[in-house]
């Protein structure tokens, strides 16, 4: 079976990432500490990786903007609504 092209792989990875974000959005009951303990990363890690990827591409993105992209809302709002 042929491997996907670089462009196809990028599309597939982006779709998988969007699915991961949707899943984390649906599972607001799962706290970041739970993710860190079980998986070794959390939503904040994803935000840092997202921001680093933006910087590598020359795209200015603040930490707060990156967190909002991952959390689906401003980070302070997410903390107030969902953090135990």
Ranges of the chain whose pLDDT falls below 70: none
Overall pTM > 0.85: yes
Q: What is the DSSP string of 4-66?
A: PPHHHHHHHHHHHHHHHHHHHHHTTTS-HHHHHHHHS--HHHHHHHHHHHHHHTT----HHHH
pLDDT at 1: 85
Question: What is the reported pLDDT for 4?
Answer: 92
CATH class of the 6-82 domain in this structure: mainly alpha
- The pLDDT, as a whole number, for residue 63 is 96
Q: How is the chain split into domains, by residue range?
A: 6-82
What pLDDT is attached to residue 2?
Answer: 87
């Amino acid at each position: 079976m042929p491997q996907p092209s670089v462009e196809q792989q990028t599309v597939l990875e982006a779709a998988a990432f969007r699915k991961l974000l949707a899943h984390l959005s649906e599972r607001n009951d799962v706290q970041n500490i739970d993710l860190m303990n079980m998986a070794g990363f959390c939503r904040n890690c994803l935000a840092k990786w997202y921001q680093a990827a933006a910087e590598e591409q020359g795209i200015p993105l603040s930490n707060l903007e990156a967190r909002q992209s991952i959390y689906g809302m401003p980070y302070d709002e997410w903390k107030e609504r969902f953090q135990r």
